[in-house]
Amino acid sequence: MPPLPTMTHSSSFLLPPPPAPPADAEDTVSYAVVVLNQRLPRFAPLLWTRAQLRVCADGGANRVFDGMPELLPAEDPDEVRARYKPDAIEGDMDSVRPEVKEYYSSLGTQIIDDSHDQDTTDLNKCISFITRNPPGPDNSNLCILVLGALGGRFDHEMGNINVLHRFSNTRIILLSDDSSIFLLPKTHSHEIHIERSVEGPHCGLIPMGAPSSSSTTTGLRWNLAEHIKHCGGRDCNSHFRF
């Protein structure tokens, strides 16, 4: 059986931006940021600046309007709000405050009212919008960073994690001050490059949707060797150190 192709993962987007890569670099990652209706993490301004496309769920627009000035208290709040303007606000528009919607609309933000669609979550709607309008030439090097997907109601968290499966061909990372969550598709082997200045020393591997019939790891303090993992078993959530 031929070896699986390797997918590489890194949290380098949490580090200060490096010098601009050549415009024709084939492996240049295109970043999009999605903001949902939870408190912004402390690194939100950095990721916003790193991204080429910024989309708020309707309640997420309130979080950006209120939260960005709080994260940058030394700056004028009006200047901060104008600088951190979303490219689009997507959702059923039941959470965004009228004055926030009007403010961003006056700055040119695209307002997408999907109130007719009550069958998908706000995150699902935002991801669909981004994949239809990728910031790069295509979706092959797209990475979507989601802020506000963790915390709050547990059913909302689980719905956000389910979106990782619905868009398993798109690289999506759910982020908070404490955690980053991403899917490791079974179609690949995976290399995870650790940025020790911003993450660790703990990580967890959780089988979602189906059992993991053979999990092998290297580079952790305690590794797995052809280990079977399934939810309902004693080791559904395996914790590790690196």
- What digits encode the pLDDT tens for the residues 121-159? 889 999 999 999 999 887 888 999 999 988 888 888 888
Instruction: Compute the average pLDDT of residues 97-108.
Output: 96
The tens digit of pLDDT for each residue in 42-67 reads 999 999 999 999 999 989 999 999 99
Cβ atoms within 10 Å, residue 54: 24
Average pLDDT, the chain: 85
3-class secondary-structure state, position 26: coil
> Does 38 share its domain with 115?
yes
> Are 90 and 57 spatial neighbours (Cβ–Cβ below 8 Å)?
yes
Q: How far apart are the first and last CA of the chain?
A: 30
Whole-structure pTM value: 0.85
Residue 169 covered by a domain? yes
Where in the sequence is the domain holding 155, given as residue range(s)?
29-183
Stretch 11-39: mean pLDDT, rounded?
Answer: 78
- Judgement on whether residues 147 and 51 belong to the same structural domain of the protein: yes
On whether both 138 and 236 belong to a single domain, the answer is: no
Beta strands in the chain (DSSP E): 6-10, 30-35, 53-57, 88-91, 110-113, 142-147, 171-175, 180-182, 189-193, 202-205, 212-215, 227-229, 238-241
Among candidate residues 138, 161, 183, the one where a domain is terminated = 183
Same domain, 113 and 227: no
98 with 193, same domain: the answer is: no
